[in-house]
């Protein structure tokens, strides 16, 4: 089955699911998928501009989405439990640590500043879509 066929089959089980990829490189994508699988990553965020400027659909509480691996194959199904908008500077340690990528708020800030600088620009005032989620299904073969 092709990745597109796999995604289509999953969308019959999870109507309205959006397919997306974590990160901006194979290494980061693999790391983030692993963190979700281990239970350490229960949140994620993205720049609001990436959703409002013709990009992805905004996450919605209760929606189940398909996280793809770097090759575009379905890897996980997650369910959004909460969505908030906040400025980068207003992200607190509770949310940052729920992302599971760093042990401190300062570490989260450094890593995410670098990510946003690589992907359209960063400022402390930029608005983020902050999403909490739970793992529904691990599609690893």
- For residue 127, what is the domain's CATH number? 3.10.400.10
Judge whether residue 141 has pLDDT over 70.
Answer: no
Q: Does the pLDDT value for residue 76 go beyond 70?
A: yes
The whole domain housing 112 covers 3-138
| pLDDT at 57 (0 to 100) | 83
Mean pLDDT of 9-14: 96
Structural domain count of the chain: 1
Mean pLDDT (the chain, rounded): 95
**Higher pLDDT, residue 57 or 72:** 72
Is residue 64 pLDDT above 70, yes or no?
Answer: yes
Average pLDDT on 77-84 reads 98
Contact 109, 96 (CB under 8 A): yes
Rounded-to-integer distance, Cα 65 and Cα 102, Å: 24
The answer, yes or no, to whether residue 63 has pLDDT greater than 90, is yes
Residue 140: predicted pLDDT? 87
Q: How far apart are CA 108 and CA 96, in angstroms?
A: 6
The pLDDT of residue 33 is 98
In the predicted model, is pLDDT for residue 54 greater than 80? Answer: no
pTM of the prediction?
0.93
The answer, yes or no, to whether residue 100 has pLDDT greater than 70, is yes
- The four Cα atoms 60, 66, 70, 72 give a dihedral, to 10 degrees, of -120
């Amino acid at each position: 089955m092709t990745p597109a066929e796999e995604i289509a089959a999953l969308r019959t089980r999870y109507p309205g699911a959006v397919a997306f990829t974590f990160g901006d490189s194979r290494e980061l994508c693999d790391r983030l998928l692993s963190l979700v699988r281990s239970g350490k990553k229960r949140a994620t965020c993205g720049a609001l501009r990436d959703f409002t400027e013709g990009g992805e659909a905004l996450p919605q509480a209760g929606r189940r989405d398909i996280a793809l691996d770097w090759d575009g194959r379905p890897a996980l199904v997650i369910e959004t439990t909460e969505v908030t908008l906040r400025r980068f500077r207003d992200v607190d340690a509770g949310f940052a640590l729920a992302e599971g990528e760093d042990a401190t708020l300062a570490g989260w800030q450094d890593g995410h500043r670098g990510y946003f600088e690589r992907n359209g620009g960063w400022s402390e005032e930029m608005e983020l879509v902050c999403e909490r989620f739970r793992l529904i299904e691990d599609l690893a073969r």
